[in-house]
Amino acid sequence: MPPSERLRDHVGQGATTVAAHRTRRRLRADRARQLADLLRRQLLTDAFPDGALPHEDALAAEYDATRNTVRQALDLLRAEGLVTRQPGVGTVLATRKYPHGLDRLMGLAETLHEHGRVTNEVRATVPVPAPAPVAERLRVPPGADVLYIERLRRLNGVPLSLDHTYLPLDTGTALLGADLENNDVFHLLESVTGTPLGHAEINLEAVSADAHSAAVLETPRGAAVLMLERLTHLADGRPVDLEFIRFRGDRIAMSGLLHRSA
């Protein structure tokens, strides 16, 4: 008996006809989501090296699922923008998702170096008076100028993230003449200060892309965005870099290792 049937039996016992119908529909949706989650994982770990997923029948057999469930699961992945379905070809990878390390404080070019070349389109570099929450975190007087940098970051030409960066003016000014198009700010900060970075407080959220971010990132309006807020300190404790980074949800995943003991 396939697991969908077993699950149905298990949950549906004693249910009325209408309730049983609802339960079946729910379980089909659950099964599709379960399968989509397993396939998402396979896609992320390059389990389909030529980018083509097995045929629906093969997936149905492998995952002990109905063809309907397989189709629903593939529809979910398509809605996420991960795969496209081509007539006569089948289901193929639409976009690769790259793993951004969560275990160590790293810049984008650094964490993705084995996947290709990161380039940055610098959309703005301009001193602005620090708004109170920026001033407080960068430990500068409120209203004092900080350097604001806005970059669209690409991997091998493909948009990955839109970054808003605030730097205190003392270190920031030294970055004005630097090659921001081809370097991580982390790398430049360590170069100009002669001090290694120490730690960063990070905050990760899932948000929907507003119309404007979506246009810049070349993704549909409302698409899921992985939003990283990060306050980075030099090894001597000085806060030097406050960033608000919008990663395209279909192109970046964060991966790391957590330990139980503190």
| Of residues 104-123, those binding a copy of itself (CB under 8 A) | 104-105, 123
CB atoms inside a 10 Å sphere around CB 117? 12
* Beta carbon nearer to a copy of itself, 7 or 118: 7
Tokens of 222: 């409302």
Looking at beta carbons only, is 9 or 170 nearer to a copy of itself?
9
Do 27 and 4 touch, CB atoms closer than 8 A? yes
Q: For a copy of itself, which residue of 129, 182, 191, 236 counts as binding (CB under 8 A)?
A: 129
Residue 223 as a binder of a copy of itself (CB under 8 A): the answer is: yes
- Mind giving me the DSSP string for 12-58? HTT--HHHHHHHHHHHHHHHHHHHHHHHHHHHHTTSSTTSBPPPHHH
For a copy of itself, how many residues bind (rule: CB under 8 A)? 84
| Binding residues among 12-71 for a copy of itself as defined by CB under 8 A | 26, 29-30, 32-38, 40-42, 44, 47, 62-64
> Which residue's entry shows tokens 């975190």?
137
- Least separation in angstroms between CB 11 and a copy of itself: 6
Among 20, 52, 92, 102, binds a copy of itself (CB under 8 A): 102
Binding mask 66-85 for a copy of itself (x = CB under 8 A): ----------x--xx-----
Judged by CB under 8 A, the residue of 70, 74, 93, 97 near a copy of itself is: 97
Q: Is 158 in the site for a copy of itself (CB under 8 A)?
A: no
**Are 140 and 150 contacting, i.e. CB atoms less than 8 angstroms apart?**
no
Q: Nearest distance from residue 256's CB to a copy of itself, in Å?
A: 6
Query: Is residue 164 a contact point for a copy of itself (CB under 8 A)?
Result: yes
Our CB check for a copy of itself shows the closer of 89 and 132 to be 132
Q: Does 92 participate in binding a copy of itself (rule CB under 8 A)? A: no
- State the Cα angle at 227 between 243 and 42, rounded to 5°: 130
Stretch that binds a copy of itself, among 98-106, 113-121, 152-160, 168-176 (CB under 8 A): 98-106
CB atoms within 10 A of CB 184: 18
Question: CA of 26: how far to CAs of 8, 11, 29, 141, in Å?
Answer: 10, 11, 5, 56
Sheet containing 118-129: order of strands: 118-129, 145-155, 158-168, 239-248, 224-234
Per CB under 8 A, contacts with a copy of itself among 180-209 are: 196-208
Whole-angstrom distance, CA of residue 217 vs CA of residue 215: 5
Helix axis angle, 17-44 relative to 3-12, nearest 10°?
140
